[in-house]
Every structure is written in C-alpha cells, then in structure tokens.
Amino acid sequence: MLRLAKTSGLSGTEGWACEQGCIELALDALLDNPASHEFYTKVGFREVERVVFFIKSAVAVNLTASPEENQLIIEARSLEK
C-alpha cells in the first residue's frame, strides 16, 4: 500500500500509478476525519461508500508479568472447544 502525506503532491503519485498500469487510485479515511474527506475531495477523489469494520478474536490471550525475570508472558489458546 502506498501512503501519501497530506502535504505531498499527488500528481507525481498519479503519474507513477499510470506508468504502472493502474486505472484508479483508492484510499481510506476514518469516518470521524472530515479534514481528510475535504482534502481528498478537493484533489479529485470521490466518496464511494462508508463501512464499519467488525473484528472478533479467534484466540484468548492471557498476559502475565514476571517482574523478577523481567518478562512478559503471553499465552494464547483457541476459542474453539
């Protein structure tokens, strides 16, 4: 994934992408980041959808500190029985 700084010029990136055979550029912005939405709209991007991502851990994690050994012990086990 190519990351762009808001202050960087996009024309060089767009030219490079075309040279690589890309036909479109896509990027993400958090829903609560209207400054990014405004910036990307101003430079020619259009909003196509809004999504909410869901995640569920497949493992149970137990963290235990062992100060005497200066260690952090990580135990993971599957949630399936």
Q: pTM for this structure? A: 0.54
Please give the DSSP secondary-structure letter assigned to residue 79.
S
Pairwise CA distance, residues 69 & 76, whole Å: 20
**Would you state the structure tokens that stand for residue 69, as one six-digit string?**
């050994």
pLDDT in tens, 8-43: 567 788 889 999 999 999 999 999 999 999 999 999
Burial class (CB in 10 A: 0-12, 13-18, 19+), 53: exposed
Q: How confident is the model at residue 5 (pLDDT cuts 50, 70, 90)?
A: very low
pLDDT at 8: 54
pLDDT in tens, 44-75: 999 999 998 888 877 788 888 877 777 888 88
- What phi and psi values does residue 25 have, to the nearest 5 degrees? -115, 140
Pairwise CA distance, residues 60 & 66, whole Å: 19
